[in-house]
Each structure stands twice: as structure tokens, then as C-alpha cells.
Amino acid sequence: MSSIALFYNLFSLEKDVREQLAAVTGYRIVQDRDVIRKTAEIYQLEQEKVERALYGPTSVFNSFTQERENNLSRLKLTLAEMLAENGTIFSGAISLLIPQSVTHILRVGLFDDHKGRIQRAMQEGLIEKKAVKAIKKSDASVCDLVAFLHLNPVNDRSQYDIFIPMGSTSTAEAVQLIVENYRKPAVLESAESMQAVTDMQLAARVELNLLEKGYTNDVRCINSRVTITINKSVHSFEHAAKQLSQAAKNVSGVANVDVVAGKDYHSSIYRDHDFKLPPKVLLVDDEQEFVQTLSERLNTRNYGSYPVFDGEQAVDLLDSETPDVMVLDLKMPGMHGVEVLQKTKEIKPEVEVIILTGHGSEDDRKTCMELGAFAYLQKPVDIVELTAVIDEAYKKVAAMKVANL
């Protein structure tokens, strides 16, 4: 028995095909939201964060937190458990996480051109402007995921067993074509294909184990033999290989580990084995040279800092990001620092805000503290003093996170 992986671009009659296909085959439907919800439940995560791993965009702090890599590995583990049960239609972006080596999955792509998709969206009740916006957002999300996973373009026909142009194919014709192929010998369950599912699980578990120690590397698994590719120069390849191999071998089920050097196609990060998740620090200051230098100095001290250069950027960023600590200047063009502080506490009250200014008055200090600032510091500030205050603010944030859990 086989299963079906259905990938599509938005407004390509995907819902009609999926539902009619389920009615004909008797297969259960598993969509992105099902895998996201189950993953969030298993790992006690916010569903929004797991969803973001699949749809993006990648957090500005991701190079420090490695949150997207972690959650994608968790999604793979959840999906692999579902792949062990046949008779399923996997529908959506989750199909991109299934390795090509899992051959008892019939891979189907439903695609249409931009014009046809807009017309179909309008038939479903959207005005043209909103249809264009929805399609653009969906396509950008898919492209972002494909780039992050280093896959071929989603419209590459070689990635699918069946590629269906929905502009010239009816729903009934598409379903009929899939039904004619989903039970062919080439896509039936085999020992090799089920081993590939086991290998997918094992690779994801190794990825998570490495990520916990601060290592982001490409992990592949064939017949329980793990290959780790180092994709960025390190001081000592031998030392890195030893550390990675030891970490991978601690995962139950790993038969052997090979560590190889790869091309620098991915900005991996290699940290020592005592890696701890750094505080996410948002720096807000219109003095670009100062804030970029400060960011670099914090990063070298294992703080995950990201600079923005005005208050509007900071507030906009809070729509998609939740830094632990914000270091905020007061006197900036446009939105004043006091207004940024006020809006931050309204939007994300859990963010601790440290005022760092060279132009503030005693009245400013009182106002900021009354609005909930964690500390009020004057420029110039010693980096040791600043990091000490950031540490104290982060301790408060961490304590609140533990209390909420």
C-alpha cells in the first residue's frame, strides 16, 4: 500500500482535488496544520513558532537561536511517524520535507500560471488586489522554505511522479490520473522505502541532538549510517569531526558516523559543546556606526544581537519577533524612544527595555522607568556594565518563561 504527497501552488484547485481523491481512495488527509499542531503538542511549543519554521520568514535572531532548524527537525520527526502509516494524503508544504528515498509516496504537483490562479481566486470571492497579494505571499513563503532546505525549485518537474497543469486539467481528470498511478508497483511499500522512513527519523533526531550543542550541519542517513557534512570552515576539521561524531553516536540507533567537508553553500555555525542559547537583544539607535559596532561586540560575547536604526523599524519588527531584551536610544528622528518604549510594552510586555542614551534628562529617566523600562543608562557605557544589565534583564525574562511553562 502507498500514500500520496500533494504539493500545489495556491488557488490551483488543490482543495477539490484533495477531497475528491480522499473520497475515491478512502485515504485520510494530513495537512500542514495537522503536523504543525501535533508537533507543537509533542514538544510543548507555541504553534505559531512551529508554523513559522515551515512558512517563514526566518527570524532575524535565527543564526543565534537556530529556532527554525530545531522546529523543522521536530516537524520531520512528527511527519516520519505519520509516514509509517500508509493510506494517507499528505497535503501542503510538509510534502517538501519527505526525502526522495521514501519511494512508497506518490509525489504529485498541482500547478497553474499566475493569471489562472488570480481568476480562480476571484471566482472564490476575493477581489483582484487581495488575490494578487495572497498569491504573492504564498509563493514567497514556498520559495523561502525551498531555499532554506536547499531543494530544487518547486516547479521542477523532476521532483514529482506526476506533474499536473491545472489550467488545462479538470479536477476529475487530475484525480483520475492520480488514481491510475497510486497503486503501481513502483510506489508500493517496500523494505527499502520503510528503511528510508526510519533513516528520516534518525537523521532528524541527530539534527536535534547536534542543534542542542550549537552545531548546524547537513545530516543524511542511509541504512542507519549517518553522514554529517561540515559546510563552513572551522579552525580544526579533525576537532570538529570528533565532536560531531561523538554527539551523533549518542543518538540511539546510529550504526556509524562519517563526517565530511562540503561546499560553503550554507552558513552553518560551529560552537563549542557547552553552547547555551544566547539572549536575543534588539538594538535600536539612529547612530548606525555605533549600533553596528555595539552589535558586533555583543555577538562576540555570545549575545544574539540585531540592530535597527529607527523606532518605526523596531515597532514593525515586533509584529514577527520577540526579542528578550531591547536596548533603546531616546533621541531619534521620527518616533521618539519614549514612544517606542510605550508601544513595546503594549505589544510585547514581556520584552525588557534598557534605555541607553546620551541626551536624556532626569524627567526622561522618570518617564521611562514609570513606563516599565528595566534600566536607564547614559552613553558612553562600558561594555561590561551593559552586558551585566542585559544579563539581569534576561534573568527576569527567563524566570517569567519558566513561570509560564
Strands (E), 262-374: 280-284, 304-308, 325-328, 352-357
Segments forming the whole domain that contains residue 349? 280-404
243 lies in the same domain as 167 = no
pLDDT per residue, tens digit, the chain (405 aa), is 799 999 999 999 999 999 999 999 999 999 999 999 999 999 999 999 999 999 989 999 998 889 999 999 999 999 999 998 889 999 999 999 999 999 999 999 999 999 999 999 999 999 999 999 999 999 999 999 999 998 899 999 999 999 999 999 999 999 999 999 998 998 999 999 999 999 999 999 999 999 988 888 899 999 999 999 987 767 778 888 898 999 999 999 999 999 998 875 444 555 554 456 789 999 999 999 999 999 999 998 989 999 999 999 999 999 999 999 999 999 999 999 999 999 999 999 999 999 999 887 899 999 999 999 999 999 999 999 999 999 999 999 988 877 776
Residue 268 lies in a domain: no
22 lies in the same domain as 171 = yes
257 lies in the same domain as 317 = no
What are the CA-CA distances from residue 204 to residues 59, 70, 110, 248 (Å)?
21, 9, 28, 11
Instruction: Enumerate residues 6+ apart whose C-beta is below 8 A from 28.
Output: 22, 87, 88, 89
354 lies in the same domain as 253 = no
Residue 267 lies in a domain: no
254 lies in the same domain as 387 = no
CATH code (residue 245) = 3.30.1340
CATH code (residue 61) = 3.40.50.300
254 lies in the same domain as 326 = no
Residue 25 lies in a domain: yes
Say what the pLDDT of residue 273 is: 44
Strands of the sheet with 218-222, listed across from one edge: 218-222, 225-230, 256-261
Residue 244 lies in a domain: yes
Say what the pLDDT of residue 289 is: 95
Cα gap 159→155, rounded to integer Å: 8
Residue 274 lies in a domain: no
Given 261, 288, 313, the domain boundary residue is: 261
Question: SS in 3 state form for 92-145?
Answer: CHHHHHCCCCCCCEEEEEEECCHHHHHHHHHHCCCCHHHHHHHHHHHHHHHHHH
Instruction: Compute the half-sphere exposure of residue 84: CA atoms within 13 Å on the CB side of its CA.
Output: 10
CATH code (residue 371) = 3.40.50.2300
**CB contact at 8 A, 269 and 62:** no
138 lies in the same domain as 229 = no
122 lies in the same domain as 247 = no
Residue 271 lies in a domain: no
Could you give phi then psi for residue 268, rounded to 5 degrees? -75, 160
Given 161, 187, 213, the domain boundary residue is: 187
pTM (2 decimals)?
0.88
122 lies in the same domain as 221 = no
152 lies in the same domain as 45 = yes
Residue 291 lies in a domain: yes
200 lies in the same domain as 335 = no
Report angle CA 196, 201, 202 to the nearest 5 degrees.
95
195 lies in the same domain as 183 = no
Neighbour-count burial of 402, counting CB atoms closer than 10 A to its CB (0-12 exposed, 13-18 middle, 19+ buried): exposed
Residue 273 lies in a domain: no
Buried b (16+ CB within 10 A) or exposed e, 373-384: bbbbbeeebeee
How many structural domains compose the chain? Answer: 3
Given 154, 187, 220, the domain boundary residue is: 187
